[in-house]
Structure 1
Amino acid sequence: MNLYFRLLLFMLRVRLRSRLSIWDTSHVTFRVNPGDLDVQRHMNNGRYLTLMDLGRMDLMVRSRFWQRVTEKGWYPVVAGQTITYRRSLQLWQRFDLASRVIGHDERWIYMEQVFRRDDELVADAVVRARFLRRSGGSVPMDEVLALARPLPEDLELPDWVTEWNEGSSRHGREL
């Protein structure tokens, strides 16, 4: 239930915040609440992933990209992600979640999301996503990028993301 309450508050707040470009970095501040804790009394690892959804939503809503994709009948789906936890977040601590698009290839959009408490790195993640049509099928990347224009001139997918993507598609096949 607390996630619905947090989502409602989030959606009210995001509409009042300043506009961004889809190529900007979104920053959202959260506070660890009792429903975020696991048995070790720090923020549950799964809660990071849930809050990352809100960080991506903040960027899409504030850039009006969300409005454009929903008008087209598209919706985003996460197809892969990796996260590294570096520090714990404790009850009532405030933290920032930064979210930005770091590139694309012929099939995927890649985002970086970073959790910080004060200036201290808490966790960092990379997310691979794409857009699907409500009527069925994937949206080709050239159509997604046409909606996101103008494209930054310096946008180039880092090599380490390409390596992660290639490795993640092979991982687990032997089990």
Structure 2
Amino acid sequence: MNLYFRLLLFMARVRFRSRLSIWDTSHVRFRVNPSDLDVQRHMNNGRYLTLMDLGRMDLMVRSRFWQRITDQGWYPVVAGQSITYRKSLQLWETFDLASRVIGHDDRWIYMEQVFRRDGKVVADAIVRARFLRKSGGSVPMDEVLDLVTPLPEHLELPGWITDWNEGSSRHGREL
């Protein structure tokens, strides 16, 4: 129930925030609530992933990209993510979640999301996503990019992302 309340509050607030480009970095402030805690009394690792959804939503809504994709009958799906936890977040601490697109290939959009408390990184993640049609099937990347042109000149997918993507596709096959 707490997540629905947080989502409703978030969606009410995001509409009044300043506009962004899809190529900008979104920043959202959160506070660790009692329902975010695990048995160790720090923020549960799964809660980071849930809040990352809200960070991506903030960027898409504020850039009006969300409206463009829903008008097309598309929706985003996370296909892979990797997160590194560096420090714990404790009850009532506030923190910032930064979200930005770092590049794309012929199939995926890649985003970086970083949690910071007092300017120091507490967790960072890479997310791989694509877009599906409500009518079925995936949306080719060139169609997605047509909604966000012009592309920034500095946008170049780092090589380590390609390595991560290839490695994550092979991971677990022997299990």
- Partners of 2:5 and 2:77 lie apart in 1 by 23
Q: Secondary structure at the match of 2:12?
A: helix
AA in 2 matched with 1:3: L
Deviation at 1:153, TM superposition (A): 0.8
Corresponding letter in the other structure for 2:31 = R
Dislocated runs of 4+, deviation >4 Å: none
Aligned amino acid, residue 59 of structure 1:
L
Q: CA RMSD for the aligned pairs?
A: 0.3
User: Counterpart of 2:139 in structure 1: which amino acid?
Assistant: V
Output the TM-score relative to the length of structure 2. 1.00
TM-score (norm 1): 1.00
Map of 1:100 onto structure 2: 100
The match for 2:168 is 168
Aligned length: 175
Supply the distance in 2 between the matched residues of 1:35 and 1:169 (Cα, whole angstroms).
34
Report how far residue 154 of structure 1 moved.
1.1
In the alignment, structure 1 residue 19 sits paired with structure 2 residue 23: no
Alignment of 1:85-96 (within 5 A): 85-96=85-96
Match of 1:148 in 2: 148
In structure 2, the residue corresponding to 1:167 is in which secondary structure?
helix
3-state secondary structure, aligned to 2:70: helix
Tell me the secondary structure at the aligned position of residue 47 of structure 1.
helix
Please tell me the residue identity of whatever aligns with 2:49.
L
* Structure 2 gap segments, 5+ residues each: none
Residue in structure 1 matched with residue 111 of structure 2 by the alignment: 111
Alignment partners' CA distance in 1, 2:63 and 2:82: 25
**Cα deviation, residue 119, structure 1:** 1.0
Aligned to 2:128: 128
* Structure-2 separation of matches of 1:50 and 1:81: 12
